[in-house]
């Protein structure tokens, strides 16, 4: 991983004020939809077992955004952590999260330079960080994401299409694939 020479971008303050007033829950729903479509299938079952029922938060500090979620019953779920603090929070600016995802910055470098703050359960935080470090970032490339989304949608829609065909008496031995 290389340290990027591009100066860190910050969300402009007027934009951050607007974003910070948006309700958290709808954003968390969108966030977990992305996690389920792109990330969940690449996580090891042991990791998912350790995440079961744990409350997590991604806090994009310069944008004033917080995404609260949990892993429960085989999927990431949006959550509301308004009453108690989540088990684990990752906080950084948007640019630093971008650099992490692009592997332009090492999470340890960001952590020790205080650009990435990890709060809460230390063991859980280390497990999540190591898990994300081990994932091949090629799965986040647009082509791979679109392929995975198409595959997921196909798996969900095909049984419905077959059932609709059968109930309409269509198909005459022709199988949809």
Rounded Cα–Cα distance for residues 92 and 115 (Å):
6
Mean pLDDT of 32-37: 91
Categorize the per-residue pLDDT at 7 as very low, low, confident or very high, splitting at 50, 70 and 90: low
pLDDT above 50: residue 4? no
Q: In terms of DSSP bridges, do strands 55-60 and 88-92 run parallel, antiparallel, or are they unpaired?
A: parallel
For every residue of 71-93, DSSP letters joined together read EETTEEEE---SSS--SEEEEE-
3-state DSSP call for residue 5? coil
């Amino acid at each position: 991983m290389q340290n990027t020479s591009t100066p860190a971008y910050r969300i402009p303050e007027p934009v951050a004020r607007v974003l910070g007033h948006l309700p958290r829950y709808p954003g968390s729903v969108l966030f977990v939809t992305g996690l389920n479509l792109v990330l969940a299938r690449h996580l090891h079952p042991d990791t998912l077992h350790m995440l079961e029922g744990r409350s997590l938060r991604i806090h994009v500090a310069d944008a004033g955004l917080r995404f609260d979620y949990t892993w429960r019953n085989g999927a990431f779920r949006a959550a509301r952590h308004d009453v108690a603090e989540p088990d684990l929070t990752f906080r950084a600016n948007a640019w630093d999260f971008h650099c992490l995802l692009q592997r332009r910055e090492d999470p340890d470098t960001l952590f020790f330079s205080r650009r990435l703050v990890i709060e809460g359960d230390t063991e859980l935080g280390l497990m999540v960080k190591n898990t994300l470090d081990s994932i091949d970032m090629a799965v986040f490339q647009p082509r791979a994401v679109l392929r995975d989304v198409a595959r997921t949608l196909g798996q969900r829609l095909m049984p419905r299409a077959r059932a609709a065909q059968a109930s309409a008496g269509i198909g005459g031995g022709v199988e949809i694939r």
